[in-house]
Structure 1
Amino acid sequence: MTLSLPVGLYVHYPWCVRKCPYCDFNSYPVKNRSASEENSYVNALLSEFSLYEKYLEGRSLISVYFGGGTPSLFSPKDMGRVIDRISPYLTENTEISMEANPGTVKLDNLKDYRSIGVNRISIGVQSFNDTSLKALGRIHSSKDAVMCCENVIKAGFDNFNIDIMHGLPKQNVAMAIEDINRAAELGCNHMSWYELTIEEDTAFGLNPPVLPSEDALSDIEEQGFNLLSEKGFRRYEVSGFTKDRRCIHNQNYWYFGDYIGIGAGAHSKLKLEDNTFRKANHEVPSEYISQIETGSLELRKVNSEDLPFEFMLNRLRIFDDIGYDEFEQTTGLSFETVREKLEEAQSLGLLEMNSESYRLTSKGKWMLNDILEMFLD
């Protein structure tokens, strides 16, 4: 059975040096991992991919994304095994991204990742301020971050993202703006700039730090958006800014395309015929390995009542015009299912609609959650 939608591949590496206090991703300290477990884990990744191959007949992957955890702790040799395995489904245009954290990767490693086919890299800097980095529990310094970004260029990457957070503990407007300036000076063509959020099941959730006031956050965002525009970064989604190339992998999520997720805690979404299916893996690496050893792939059909919200949650995140036909193509449902609520959002000044498409207004971008709540009813 073939897929009618573009499809990307997500590969999860679940280990990191240590858990950051704000992080709610599926990750575990690398000190608790044995060499044999890592080898078994890579074997499980390869086996799991094999289970999905029947859904890739006649298709190519538009993107591959190694996320984590800290994928830059993934040896180039092991990452290369994964890329070799999926190579029949790659084209010269496939975006192959990996996340890397300063303090975990050196120039020689970056060159090795480049040589095995990685063509886009995302550096998890978060801040160039040492006080902010300490507050965030990061293992690197500002100097480490600068060196890492410079090494990305030296290694031959011309497509790289820098992650920067704002709204950090005790951060003021000047500190937030300086982070953008320093990132822009280091030659990235893409920046992810987003506000720190406090999640319940994290160290910050249990012991919340002092964060900037709402007024300060508003000033940070206003000045930050202006500065990014001045630096040549165009905002194309909620937290994505680019000079030339978008992140194809993330864009496929937001367009409600299909994706296969392999690894501990990874999620998959596939549209087969007119139905949408999902799958979520066990989060603990050892349990994930055992799960894959069973050799079965159990997909869960998504209730049609849930699809309007899922579609809007993703598609409204990216600011391109949304054709009326996109909803039907990606969900198999009639556009009439969502028309009334979209018209309600239009009446509130949150959307603009014409004969063929709709899009968020400036007000809608600020009040996106209000629109999404309409589709929860």
Structure 2
Amino acid sequence: MIDLLPVSLYIHYPWCIRKCPYCDFNSYPKNKSVCTDESYLNALILDFKQNINLISNRKFNAVYFGGGTPSLFSPKLMEKLMHEISPYCEENCEISMEANPGTVSLETLKDYRSLGVNRISLGVQSFDDRELKLLGRIHDSKAAIEACNNVIKAGFDNFNIDIMHGLPEQTTQKALADIKIAASLGCNHLSWYELTLEEDTYFGSNPPKLPNEDNLADIEEQGFVLLKELGFNRYEVSGYTKDRRCQNNLNYWFFYDYFGIGAGAHSKIQIGDKTCRRGNPQKPSSYIEEVKNKKNNFFEVKKSDLPFEFMLNRLRVFDETKYDEFETTTRLNFSTVKDKLEKAKGEGLLRFSDTGYALTDKGRWMLNDILELFL
């Protein structure tokens, strides 16, 4: 009998107040939407009911509301969705919601908390008003600090703040100041990552002046030291925690299963010895129509693609990868990847033990070099 992998649920809310110039996520300005939240909610519930059998007898160990800006979804509508999914959640299921500081109040945070949401991820990005304006954010530093304080007042003790670095003309001092302010506001988890200019964004075609490579390296080097001094342990490429890791993200990185509902949401479900995926239509109206027509569009991933997919995800987490993980999550023999792992070891990018393998310090900086071996 094949053991079933842990499974999580991702729910995508595709609308924002406005599109940020750096954002390449599947999101759309709310005031231009041709769909109502009610019609979108109905599609989410229908999609869930039509495909919940794919998780077999498992229960979700994590639920994640992402976007877009899920905190634009009214608590009243979210209550209907929670009513449908709650019976399929583990007792201690992590239920996370992304929120924008400009779209939440203390009262709405309390409402989300009462519905079962037990983790908030607040998209602050910076506490510097000049940087926030350049990034096109709808909040200023005062609103960001107030939102962080309200998360604590609303009773959340599992609380992430998103902070970007390498912002337009940002100095090392300003980047470190953002970390210090975030750490002082009661969060137990930080996502700290570099701004990247994606092709299909406003910044992609109109690039701002970013810090040079030497400045970026200095920001990262000093940032790593500061985060450690503040008690935040780095457990994956951009994740730092004082106590609890993000279970939803770990499901992705450990190559476990996840079921995604909503426009543009992706799923990966292991069915027998097959790894199957689904990508939903990106436009909300197209997604609603597809759900009505009962299309699920799951397809089997080519077995030749699985080694790269596994390494792309699993090596993001710095924990040692046990030798049996590859076989458990892909149903392929470890010999499929052994020679390439040995080559990475020979180049000083991996270290081996009796139980598994892990990135060296050099490997953390040159992760892409390892991944290229599996292309």
TM-score with structure 2 setting the length: 0.98
Return the letter of the residue paired with 2:218: D
Q: Give, in angstroms, the shift of residue 109 of structure 1.
A: 0.3
The answer as to whether partners of 2:165 and 2:175 remain within 8 angstroms in 1 is: yes
Whole-angstrom CA distance in 2 between matches of 1:209 and 1:10: 33
Once the two structures are superposed, residues 114-160 of structure 1 have per-residue CA deviations (whole angstroms, 9 ceiling, x without a partner) of: 00000000000000000110111111000000000000000000000
- 1:18 is matched with 18
- 1:241 is matched with 240
Whole-angstrom CA distance in 2 between matches of 1:343 and 1:56: 35
Return the letter of the residue paired with 2:6: P
- 1:141 is matched with 140
Whole-angstrom CA distance in 1 between matches of 2:54 and 2:19: 35
Whole-angstrom CA distance in 1 between matches of 2:179 and 2:251: 26
Q: Give, in angstroms, the shift of residue 2 of structure 1.
A: 9.1
Return the letter of the residue paired with 2:4: S
Whole-angstrom CA distance in 2 between matches of 1:143 and 1:194: 22
Once the two structures are superposed, residues 24-77 of structure 1 have per-residue CA deviations (whole angstroms, 9 ceiling, x without a partner) of: 00000000125x622111000000001222123321100000000000001111
The answer as to whether partners of 1:2 and 1:59 remain within 8 angstroms in 2 is: no
Once the two structures are superposed, residues 267-300 of structure 1 have per-residue CA deviations (whole angstroms, 9 ceiling, x without a partner) of: 0000111110000000000010000001132211
Alignment of 1:201-280 (within 5 A): 201-280=200-279
Displaced runs of 4+ in structure 1, greater than 2 A? none
Alignment of 1:54-65 (within 5 A): 54-65=53-64
Does residue 1:160 correspond to 2:144, yes or no? Answer: no
The answer as to whether partners of 1:2 and 1:56 remain within 8 angstroms in 2 is: no
| Pairs aligned (count) | 375
- 1:128 is matched with 127
Q: Give, in angstroms, the shift of residue 359 of structure 1.
A: 0.2
What percentage of residue pairs aligned between the two structures are identical? 63
The answer as to whether partners of 1:2 and 1:58 remain within 8 angstroms in 2 is: no
Whole-angstrom CA distance in 2 between matches of 1:108 and 1:99: 16
Whole-angstrom CA distance in 1 between matches of 2:19 and 2:295: 31
Whole-angstrom CA distance in 1 between matches of 2:243 and 2:212: 34
- 1:93 is matched with 92
Once the two structures are superposed, residues 163-194 of structure 1 have per-residue CA deviations (whole angstroms, 9 ceiling, x without a partner) of: 00000001000000000000000000000000
Whole-angstrom CA distance in 1 between matches of 2:109 and 2:77: 14
Report SS of the residue matched to 1:149. helix
Report SS of the residue matched to 1:342. helix
Q: Give, in angstroms, the shift of residue 3 of structure 1.
A: 7.2
The answer as to whether partners of 2:255 and 2:310 remain within 8 angstroms in 1 is: yes
Return the letter of the residue paired with 2:97: M
Whole-angstrom CA distance in 1 between matches of 2:261 and 2:140: 32
Q: Give, in angstroms, the shift of residue 356 of structure 1.
A: 2.1
**Unaligned stretches of 5+ in structure 2?**
none
Q: Structure 1 residues 3 and 30 mapped into 2: Cα distance closer, same or farther (>3 Å)?
A: farther
The answer as to whether partners of 2:37 and 2:73 remain within 8 angstroms in 1 is: no
- 1:39 is matched with 38
**Unaligned stretches of 5+ in structure 1?**
none
- 2:149 is matched with 150
Greater CA drift, 49-58 or 108-117: 49-58
Once the two structures are superposed, residues 233-261 of structure 1 have per-residue CA deviations (whole angstroms, 9 ceiling, x without a partner) of: 00000000000000000011000000000
Q: Give, in angstroms, the shift of residue 88 of structure 1.
A: 1.2
